[in-house]
Structure 1
């Protein structure tokens, strides 16, 4: 009984750390799933991002809204995004000529996208119907 409990306690945390990509088995599939509009899950952030990927390389735009939900700013972000696969799953590089950072794609499905930075900070988005 103790051995089973130790085994469960050992394996369970490993499954919680794993990537949850219900949709994708390739870089191209990940890009296709990320394409579109996403809103950050934060009560004090009223902005949306639009991602556009082709063959694992992408760009994005930021849309800001006021409290009345009127669009107040649209900006194409001067960064190139690149999705790549590692042993632990899919990640995305953010670059503007110099490498800005890499984020692990922790969760990706039809409604949710979660990035995890190298410092462990998570950012969660939900998909907006187009």
Structure 2
């Protein structure tokens, strides 16, 4: 794994997934495996009770991202998103806006390990 810098100066871990059946898209291994990165994101503001997790899951799936989203007991929302750097940047921008009923105050992100499972899901509150 190597570290690269994403937009906004945040470190992002990148990893090559080169084993057959693990590449995105058709499931066929390409000559060059796509570089995937993962970030752990924390969103604060009025982000619980406004459909933020449902919206996040929908937006992440539409972009083909892997990971999860959950509420935190402190009132924030936390998400792990994994995919190519450009798509992660798009999702980080979307997090700053959020669903219509939300009021996002702050979005922070940090490098994270790639999730062990494919797909995107909502986890229980932690």
Say yes or no: TM over 0.5.
no
TM-score range, shorter chain: under 0.3
The structure with more radius of gyration: 1
Structure showing the higher strand proportion among its residues: 1
Structure 1 length as normaliser, TM-score? 0.26
Which structure carries more relative contact order (alpha carbon 8 Å, separation 6+)? Answer: 2
Structure 2 length as normaliser, TM-score? 0.27
